[in-house]
Amino acid sequence: MNANGQHGQGRPGRDGARQVVWAVVASDIGPLLLAATDEGLVSVVFHATDEIRDKAVERLGSRLGAEPVEAPGSPLLAEPVRQLSAYFAGERHDFELPLDWSLISGFNRQVLRELTTVPYGAVVGYGDLARRVGQPGAAQAVGMAMGANPLPVVVPCHRVVESDGGIGGFGGGVETKRRLLALEGVLPQPLF
């Protein structure tokens, strides 16, 4: 995974403006909105119904300073779509994608970059992750960083759990978190 955290303001597209493309793709956890810039994958949004999709696209446009364009066939989205499909099929354990970190900064970016080192099939506690970034008393702040993660699944916030063994919260909903952890073999697969 390209988790070097480097980003600029994005390279200009053909018209001189930053290019932002998006598409909604099917997954085992429901429709996902994927958005990318010339720098890399910039956003993954759960439960991408029409209403959620419209709000996410509007928010992306205002935060990135460019009008997002629906482009399911874009080469910028081809590899993220392929790798996510392979992940949900159980054929891929690590993402090797360029990431555009421009939607996150400071402590949150530091925590999320560290999170990319937690391997498939493993979990880490909020407090453990806080210690890994040199902020041992910041477990709650780590939780806030997980909630602000613009790249869930690819930057695996579902792998962060409570120290007492609880599953913890999740921006995509606890059931989605359970399904991702079951896919990775951390939890048993649901019976139905």
Distance in Å from the first CA to the final CA of the chain: 33
The vertex-37 CA angle with 33 and 43, nearest 5°, equals 30
Residue 179 annotated among the catalytic residues of the structure: no
Spatial neighbors of 50 by CB under 8 A, at least 6 apart, are none
Q: Which of 45, 157, 161, 181 is catalytic?
A: 157
Task: State how far the Cα of 44 lies from the Cα of 80, in Å rounded to an integer.
Answer: 10
Spatial neighbors of 134 by CB under 8 A, at least 6 apart, are none
At residue 60, what are phi and psi to the nearest 5 degrees? -60, -45
Catalytic residue ranges: 157
